[in-house]
Structures are given as C-alpha cells and as structure tokens.
Structure 1
Amino acid sequence: MKIEYIPHPEEIEIQPKDFIYVNYRKIDNYAVSGYFTFLSTAVGVKVEKIITKRLSYLGNKFKHKLHNMIHSQLIGGCGKYIESLIGLEELCDGCEKCSNIAKTCLEYGPLRLSTLQTMTYSKNYKKLHVTDKLFEDIAEYCISKSKNKEGCFKELDETILSTISCDKLVIWVNESRLHPNEETRNHMHMPREVIDIILRKWNVKSVKLNMIFYTNGGLCSVDWLQYNYFTPVRLNDPYSITEKSSDLKFSHVDVRMSDSIYCVRGFGNHHSEIIVPRGYHNFIPNIRRLFPTDKISIDLSHWFYIAETDIEKKMSTILQVVTMEKQRKLSLSMKFFVKSSIVKKVNEETNKAELRKLAPKYRHRRVNFQSCVRRSLPIDDVDQYLEEFNQEKWIGRRFQVEDIENLFNFNLNVYIKEKELEEGFDKQLLQEYPNSFVGHFYE
C-alpha cells in the first residue's frame, strides 16, 4: 500500500492540502480512517507492504493522527503480516511502535538513530533504508560520547553492530539540505567512516541511492565537521578528491531519480548551461569510489527536467556526463523517459516538421524489449490534483555505446508514451527521414 502527499515538484515551504493519495487514489483527510476501515474489513485486505512518501509535509495534528491510524487500522497490534514498512518514521521520528515492527519485517526504514539503537538483535534484512542525516547523527552521537578521535571511533564500532545485516542498503540523499551559514540548498557532506563501517559490518551486498529533492531532514548540522575526525564526502564533489575504497565491492548499485531535481538536471544538461551547477557531472565516478561496483543502473523516470528539447543533444550530454572519467570494467544501464516532442524540430525556413537523428556514437540494439506502465500526476500542472494518477504505457528501445578496449558498456533505454507514438507521427514523415531516432520505435 502506498500513502503519499503530492506537493508541487519544487515546493519546500508549503501550505498542507486537505487530502492525500492512497494507492494512487485521492482521499480527503476526513475520509482516510473510513477508507482504511473499508480496506481492512469489507475488502479484507491483508497489508504486507506500506510505503509512505512526503508525509512530513502534512500539518502536525493530522500527521500524528495518520501515523496512529496506519498502526491501528492497517498494521494491527503485532504487525504479523507486514513485510515492508518504508517512510513511516517521518511522522514519529522513531517511536516504539515503529521500532517493534522493524524487528519483524524484511524491509524497513529510513532508520532514525533512536530505532538503530534498539537493533541489538540478530536479523538479516532484505533491505534497510538509511539517510544522509542518519550518517550525520551517528557521527555527532559518537563525538558527544567520547573525548578524542580514538574514543569516538570506539563508540562508532559499538553503535554499528554486526548482529544485523542487509542484502541491499538504500541510501536516501537529500539534494536540498541547508547549511546554517549558507543560502544555497545542496547535497551536504556525509561522514565517510560512518558509511564505510555500516557497509562492512552489515555485510551489504548491493546499494541503492535514492536521490530526493527534499526530505524533512533539511537543515544539516556541522558540528561533526569541526572535529576533523571524519572524512567529509559528497556524491557531487569533484571526483578527484574522493579516495577509492580499497576493500569494498558490491554486486551492483541502483540509482532512483524519480524524486530528484538537481541530480537529474545534472545528467541532462551540461554544467555550463545550469544557472547554479551543483556538480552532479561527478556522480558516476564518485559512486565507483564510494561504492565500488562493475554494474550501475539509473532510473530517470520523469522527463520534465532534462528532456524538453532535442533528443540528440540530451543523449550526447548524458554520454558526456557518464564518461567524464574514462570508465573501465563497467556496465551502465539507464532508463530515460522522454516526451515525443523532443525527437522533432521545426525548420525555420520552411516551417515544416523534421525528425532528429540518433546522437553520434550510439547504435540501436534490437533486443527483446519490454514496454512498461507508469503511474503519474501531470508534473507541469500538479495543481490539477486528479482524483487518480494517470496510468500510461511506455514503449522502450535500447541504444548502446560500447568501448570494447576498456570493457565499458552503456545501455540507454529510451521510453516514449505509446499514445504519443500512435498519434504524433505520420508514415510520410517517417519515410522522409528513414534514419531518424524515432524511426527505431516503429521497427
């Protein structure tokens, strides 16, 4: 079950609305309790997975009420059916009810420090979710409990226990945290030694980076930086200053950007074209330094911020970003969702539509490629607040760049809405431009 609040994409300071979305359906706040009762009694739904998103935006009174309703009406007293609980600690900052559920489910988080400190039991999780703020909180907690660097790292070793482990560590990275002495929001530094000890002691096999424009941990603390005990690292720092990890290796790293703004812009636009560049052209090299892997997959699942014009330019820019540092022994896959309008252009002299070509260095790969279905609200007019999310089918094609000498393989899987392909291109135009990019979608 998915329970979420939908603000405007770039909204941080907002006035809470009087509704939320439950399983992509708009429910007024006053009707939420009745809807939960309907699901659990009349329909007889046994809820196994609960994902809550952006509920920290809600007003305090309803936020606490919703937290209690989720526990009493969906989870139940012992939560025996719950296998996955994601995001609920945003509403309570880590209460006893939530930490008790963490003991029994297979996927949990993002963890608050208070919940982490209760995890003294032995358990293997399928996934554990953490945040950049948790890394910061752990560093400051260990500093507060010690008198010197040696004591701090001893406290760190006792705080992160090896009794728990997780197959995949999901790291939520807030792109718009605020430094107390700065005005520009950005992804802030994280204590590397905290990250490394978690990766090692929890026996993490793979990593997922969840890039999020804004979470409720917006204001960062800088006290830990003043002690120089920990090495500050960021995914958008110049990669030349990030040391490579010598003893860690992960099967793969996944990157989710559906809630991203700054990082996703950094992939689709050259840093010289961005008004306030934030360094995300360093993203891939830094991933391989912090989380060594030979396989990275990235989901650019919304198209609004990077793909409004010129598919050739966007594909070339993406290639330039991911190969800024020459990569060896890397398989990189990216899902790229675009509007059909970016594959066309209007000839200014003739005022006629023309079709753009495939960007240089790419070649179309004929693979058995599946379509996919995505649910979304209209990003460019979210104030419509539809009663239900749109559900649309997307058609994908694979375009590949391969460097055999360096064992580098880049698969850019581009998706266009099926409806736009059916309505947006006539046969005569496609025949006139047989080498067009979009022509591959009709093969």
Structure 2
Amino acid sequence: MKIEYVCERKEREKTSKDFIYINYRKVKTQDVLGYFIFLNTAVGAKIEKITTRRLWMLKNKFMIRLHDLIHSQLIGSNGTHIQSLIGLEEICNGCEKCFNIAKKCLEYGPLRFSTLQTMTYSKNYKKLHVTDKLFEDIAEYCISKSKNKEECFQELDNTIFPVISCDTLSIWINETRVFPDGMEGLEYDHRHMPREVIDVILRKWSVKSIQLNMIYFTNEGMCSVDWLQYDYFTRVRLNDPYFKTQKSPDLKFTNVDVEMSDSIYCVRDLGVRYPKYKSPRGYANFIPNIRRLFPTDKISMDLSHWCCIANDDIEKKMSTILYVVSMEQPQNLSVDIKFFVESAIVKKLNEETKKEELFGIAPKYNFRKHCLQCYKKSLPFEVKLGPDAFNSEKWIGRRFQVEDTFNQFNFNLDVYIKEKDLEDELDKEMLQKYPNSFVGHFYN
C-alpha cells in the first residue's frame, strides 16, 4: 500500500490540503479512517507492505493522527503481517511503535539514529533504507563521545552493531540541503558525507548490493555541520570531481541501482551537460564516483519519467549520456539506463528550409531489436485541487547499445516514448523520407 502527499515541485512548507493519495487515488482526510476500517472489515486485507511519501508535509495534527491510524488500523499491535514499512519515520523521527515494527520487517527505513541505537538484535534484512543525514548524525554522535580521532573511530565501531545485516542498502540522498544560517554554501546542493561511517556500515552489515535514491528534497534539508569542524572523517560527495574520491580497496557489490524518479538536478545533469540557464551541479561525475565509493561491475538507472524530461535533440542527449557514462573509460562495467523522453525530441526545424527533419541515432550507438514497454503513473505539476487518481500511461521503448569489447564495457540505453505520442505525432511520409531516423525504430 502506498500512502502519499503530493505537492507542487517547488513546494516545501507544510500544507492544509484536505486530501492525500492512497494507492494512487485521492482520499479526503476525513475519510481516511473509514477507508482503513473498510479494508480491515469488508475486504479483510492483510497489509504486508506500506510505503509512505512526504506525509511530513501535512499539518501536524492530521500528520500525527495518520501515523497512529497506520499503526492501529493497517499494521496492528503485533504487526503480524507487515513485511515492509518505508517512510513512516519521517513523521515521528523514530518512535517506539516504529522501531518495534522494524524488528519484524524484512524491509525498513529510512532509519533515524534513535532507531539505529535499538538494533541490538540479530536479524538479516532484505533491504534497509538510510539517509545522508543519518551518516552525519552518527559522525557527530561519535565525535561527542570522544576526545580524539582514535577514540572517535572506536566509538563508531561500537555504534554500528554487526548483528544486523542487509542484502541491499538503500541510501537516500537529498539534492537540495542547506547549511545553517550564517555559513557559506547556502545554495541548495547535495552535501558531503562522512566516508568512514558509510564504509563501516557497508562492512559490518555485510551489504551485498546498493540502491541510491536521489531525491530533490526531503524533511532533512538542514545539514549537521559540527563534524565538518574536525578532520576525523573523509568528506565525499557523488557530484565532486571523481579524481578526488579514493577507490575502496576491499569492497565489492553485485550491483548498484540508481532511482531518480524524484530527482531534478542529478537527472538533469546526466542528460544535459551544459544547462542553458543554470550551471551544472557536477553530476557528470556521478558514475565514476559510484564505482569509487561502491565498487561494482553493474550499474542500472531509472531516470525520471515526469520531471526534467528531455524534449529536444535526441542525438545530443544520447551523446551527452554516453559522455557521462564513459567519462573514466571504464573497464569491466555494464550500465543499463532507462531514459524517458518527450516525442518532440525526435525532430528539429531546419532554419534554412523551415521544414521539420528527423534526428538520427547518435554516433557509436547500435540499435538492438528489443521491443520494450512499461507503465508509469504520474500527476500534473499543479495539483492544488488534486485529480481523483494518478494517470497511468504506457511507454514504448527501444534499446540502443554501445559495446567496447576490449575494455569489457557494455552500455544499454533504453529510450522510452509515450505510446499515445507515437500514435499521434508523426506521419508516414516523414518516416519514409528519413529511413534511418531514431524514431523510425519505434515503428519497425
């Protein structure tokens, strides 16, 4: 079950909207209790997975009530059926009810520091979610308990318990954090993280794979900065110049999966090397930094299907993405990217003839006869009134591949266009005129 508050893209303050979305359908706040009771009694639903999203943006009174209703009506006092609980600690910052349920789940998070401190029991999780803010909190806690670097690292070793393990560690990274007032760097950005904290967690929890969840903003927008006053921890960011990031000598992960459905800056910089109106945030360094922090031979990415959608010059976009992916001339690496684009990206206006032409495929790519499709849900940006339900749209995809057998590098770019746009936009005469066009592969 997914329970979420949907906001406009730039909205950050708590709101008095009188509705939320449950399983992608609008439910009035006064009807939530009745809806939950209906699920329990009439339907007899046994809720195994609950994901909440941005409920912290609701007004406090309803936010707290909703938190308690989720526990009492959906989870139950014993949490008998619940296997996955994601996002609820964003409301309570780690209450007793939540960390008691954390013991029962196979997937949980994102963890607050208070919950982490209760994890003295032995358990293997399929997936644990953590945030960049948690790494800061751990670093500052260890500094507060020590007098020097050696004592600090000993405290770190004592704080992260090895009795916990997880198959996948999901790291939520906020793209728009700020420093406290009066400090430099007030512009929104992804901030430095204490590397030694990350490395200790990865080792002690026996993490097998990584998920990076790039998020435009969360409720942890303010940085903790005390740890930056000490030289105990190495500072790392995924958008720093990659040559500054040291390689991990003894870590190796089966794969790194990057989720960008809620990203703006990272997904923008991957597809637009030099944005027209704003300077790039450095995410061209993203993939080399991933391999330095989380060594792997396999990286997969889902770019956003609703925000910062590419809408012009498919050849240039494909070339830019290839530049980013192959920046470090990678060896022994497989990269898969799902790239969602608007239909306008496939054609251009010839300034001399004033006629439309179709773009071809960018250099170095080869078309692979993979017919792909998926369904994506989304809402329009302006959701003040709130439509009754999310739109579910079918996307059609084609695979374009770059292969370097010498370096054992393989890159699959799966480009998706909405099915309805393919049906409406192009006429057969133009497709026949440009038989080697990019979009022509969607009609074969």
Q: Tell me the TM-score normalized by structure 1.
A: 0.97
CA drift of 1:306 comes to 4.4
Distance in 1 between residues matched to 2:286 and 2:225, nearest whole Å: 23
- What is the SS of the residue equivalent to 2:372? coil
Query: Counterpart amino acid of 2:344?
Result: S
Spell out, residue by residue over 1:7-36, the C-alpha distance to the aligned partner (whole angstroms, 9 max, x if none).
Answer: 112322453422111000011111111111
- What is the SS of the residue equivalent to 2:178? coil
Q: 2:379 matched to which residue of 1?
A: 377
Contact 2:309/2:342 (<8 A) preserved: no
Query: Counterpart amino acid of 1:215?
Result: T
Q: 2:393 matched to which residue of 1?
A: 392
Distance in 2 between residues matched to 1:13 and 1:316, nearest whole Å: 38
Query: Counterpart amino acid of 1:50?
Result: I
- What is the SS of the residue equivalent to 2:167? strand
Contact 1:208/1:253 (<8 A) preserved: yes
Q: Does 1:360 align with 2:354?
A: no
Q: 1:192 matched to which residue of 2?
A: 195
Q: 2:213 matched to which residue of 1?
A: 210
Question: Of 316, 325, 332, which aligns to 1:313?
Answer: 316
CA drift of 1:216 comes to 0.6
Distance in 1 between residues matched to 2:275 and 2:171, nearest whole Å: 28
Distance in 1 between residues matched to 2:263 and 2:206, nearest whole Å: 28
Q: 2:282 matched to which residue of 1?
A: 279
Q: 1:68 matched to which residue of 2?
A: 68
Where do 1:139-178 residues align within 5 Å?
139-178=139-178
Contact 2:269/2:275 (<8 A) preserved: no
Distance in 1 between residues matched to 2:291 and 2:267, nearest whole Å: 18
CA drift of 1:272 comes to 6.1
Structure 2 spans left out of the alignment, 5+ residues: none
Q: 1:243 matched to which residue of 2?
A: 246
Q: 2:326 matched to which residue of 1?
A: 323
Question: Of 244, 268, 272, which aligns to 1:269?
Answer: 272
Q: 2:303 matched to which residue of 1?
A: 300
Distance in 2 between residues matched to 1:271 and 1:246, nearest whole Å: 33
- What is the SS of the residue equivalent to 2:118? coil
Name whichever of 322-331 and 130-139 sits farther off: 322-331
Distance in 1 between residues matched to 2:56 and 2:211, nearest whole Å: 22
CA drift of 1:207 comes to 0.1
Distance in 2 between residues matched to 1:146 and 1:41, nearest whole Å: 54
Distance in 2 between residues matched to 1:303 and 1:374, nearest whole Å: 9
Distance in 1 between residues matched to 2:435 and 2:36, nearest whole Å: 54
CA drift of 1:353 comes to 2.7
Spell out, residue by residue over 1:146-202, the C-alpha distance to the aligned partner (whole angstroms, 9 max, x if none).
Answer: 111111111111110110100000000000000121320100110000000000000
> How many residues end up aligned between the 2 structures?
441
Contact 2:318/2:362 (<8 A) preserved: yes
CA drift of 1:303 comes to 5.0
- What is the SS of the residue equivalent to 2:97? helix
Name whichever of 45-54 and 382-391 sits farther off: 382-391
Name whichever of 124-133 and 315-324 sits farther off: 315-324
Q: 2:402 matched to which residue of 1?
A: 401
Question: Of 343, 347, 369, which aligns to 1:340?
Answer: 343
Distance 1:141-1:239 versus aligned 2 partners, 3 A rule: same
Query: Counterpart amino acid of 2:424?
Result: E
Query: Counterpart amino acid of 2:284?
Result: H
Query: Counterpart amino acid of 1:114?
Result: S
CA drift of 1:276 comes to 3.1
Contact 1:84/1:105 (<8 A) preserved: yes
CA drift of 1:328 comes to 0.9
- What is the SS of the residue equivalent to 2:171? strand
Query: Counterpart amino acid of 1:307?
Result: A
- What is the SS of the residue equivalent to 2:238? coil
CA drift of 1:378 comes to 2.3
Spell out, residue by residue over 1:94-127, the C-alpha distance to the aligned partner (whole angstroms, 9 max, x if none).
Answer: 0010001100110000000000111100000000
Q: 2:431 matched to which residue of 1?
A: 430
CA drift of 1:324 comes to 1.8
CA drift of 1:266 comes to 0.9
Contact 1:303/1:338 (<8 A) preserved: no
CA drift of 1:385 comes to 2.4
Q: Does 1:94 align with 2:97?
A: no
Distance in 2 between residues matched to 1:349 and 1:247, nearest whole Å: 58
Where do 1:76-87 residues align within 5 Å?
76-87=76-87
Query: Counterpart amino acid of 2:375?
Result: V
Query: Counterpart amino acid of 2:166?
Result: C
- What is the SS of the residue equivalent to 1:124? strand
- What is the SS of the residue equivalent to 1:221? coil
Query: Counterpart amino acid of 2:4?
Result: E
Name whichever of 401-410 and 202-211 sits farther off: 401-410
CA drift of 1:238 comes to 0.8
Q: CA RMSD in A?
A: 1.3
Distance 1:422-1:16 versus aligned 2 partners, 3 A rule: same
Distance in 2 between residues matched to 1:441 and 1:207, nearest whole Å: 33
Contact 1:375/1:392 (<8 A) preserved: yes
Distance in 1 between residues matched to 2:260 and 2:385, nearest whole Å: 23
Distance 1:285-1:58 versus aligned 2 partners, 3 A rule: same
Distance in 2 between residues matched to 1:60 and 1:18, nearest whole Å: 13
Query: Counterpart amino acid of 1:104?
Result: K
Q: 1:420 matched to which residue of 2?
A: 421
Distance 1:78-1:156 versus aligned 2 partners, 3 A rule: same
Spell out, residue by residue over 1:68-108, the C-alpha distance to the aligned partner (whole angstroms, 9 max, x if none).
Answer: 01001111111110010000000100001000110011000
